[in-house]
Amino acid sequence: MTPKFPHAIVIVTLSCNMKCKLCILDAPYYRKPFHPDIDFLKETTDRTFAIGDYEIFEFNGGEPLLRGDFAELFEYALRYRDNADIFKTVTNGSKEIRGDLIDVWKQYGDKFYCIIDNYGPKLSPCAEENCSKLKSAGIPCELRDMYSDSKHHGGWADFRVDEIKHTVEEAKAIYLKCGQAQKLKHCCNIINGLLMPCHMQFKLNDRGICEPLPHEYIDLFDDSEPLEKKREKMRNFTDIAEIQFLTACRYCVGLYDGIERAKPAVQLTSEEVKNMQRIRQSKGVLA
């Protein structure tokens, strides 16, 4: 019997038309953001579903609507329509949703769900119109307020990191109350074929700060690791008592009620982006 897991997110691009200072995946800081060809993403999708079925399966970014072939990817994934309860994407409301995307999303019926983050009329000029368009087409859609006094969850968490913040015991305590682990049962991000149960692991690994331990990630393209071993790791990701904490937890503020929240989508200037890219490139990371 095929196992079923809570959540998998295939990152289709780290390119983004916003330059958010607190971007959860550091998208603005890449000189050459991850933006693979469609065939790689199709194979990533195949390998993700080879591991199991999902309650929620997502294609996300970056800003996923920057992919001109985004509709083609969703059309390809229709073959797995019965292997997930919900298919989902999140967009920043800056670009118009094209008709070809609407056409393919309609083929998912009530199994597709779109979240449109609204950062205000300047940053998200298409947010409200896109939401109306989807609802008129019968596509479930949520317009998420990210700029008013009633903004979603009160704003963003600050996941910037450079060094260890916590002892092992402190990390365990954070893990026990972190929404990423406890409520979401790990939204497993998949970037460049690597599946990790927390976005912080990817960011720390990519910057050369902290590598995940072997039991903390899955290389979908490593055919030397048996499929059942990959499934065992996925099962362990949802077993909070088994994991206790991730190595990345020692670097992270955690995601839970009561942490300080920041204004979402504060934009970096072009000069700030260049300076940060220059600093990180000099360290050999995020180049």
Note the pLDDT of residue 98. Answer: 97
Task: For residue 260, tell me if it sits in a domain.
Answer: yes
Q: Is the pLDDT confidence value at 284 over 60?
A: no
Least confident of 17-21, 44-48, 210-214, 234-238: 234-238
Find the domain containing 255 and state its range: 4-280
Task: For residue 77, tell me if it sits in a domain.
Answer: yes
Task: For residue 286, tell me if it sits in a domain.
Answer: no
Burial 158-181 (b: 16+ CB within 10 A, else e): ebebeeeebeeeebeebbeebebb
Count of the separate structural domains present in the chain? 1
The model's pLDDT over 249-278, given as tens digits with 9 standing for 90+, comes to 999 988 888 889 999 999 999 999 888 878
Task: For residue 182, tell me if it sits in a domain.
Answer: yes
Task: For residue 285, tell me if it sits in a domain.
Answer: no
Least confident of 33-42, 113-122, 172-181, 226-235: 172-181
Task: For residue 66, tell me if it sits in a domain.
Answer: yes
Note the pLDDT of residue 160. Answer: 87
Whether the Cβ atoms of residue 69 and residue 20 lie closer than 8 Å to each other: no
Vertex 247 angle, CA 45 and 205, to 5° = 55
Task: For residue 234, tell me if it sits in a domain.
Answer: yes
- The model's confidence at residue 192, banded by pLDDT at 50, 70 and 90, is very high
CATH number at residue 178: 3.20.20.70
Give pTM, 2 decimals.
0.94
Task: For residue 125, tell me if it sits in a domain.
Answer: yes
Note the pLDDT of residue 184. Answer: 64
Give kind and range of the element (H or E) at residue 57.
Answer: strand 53-60
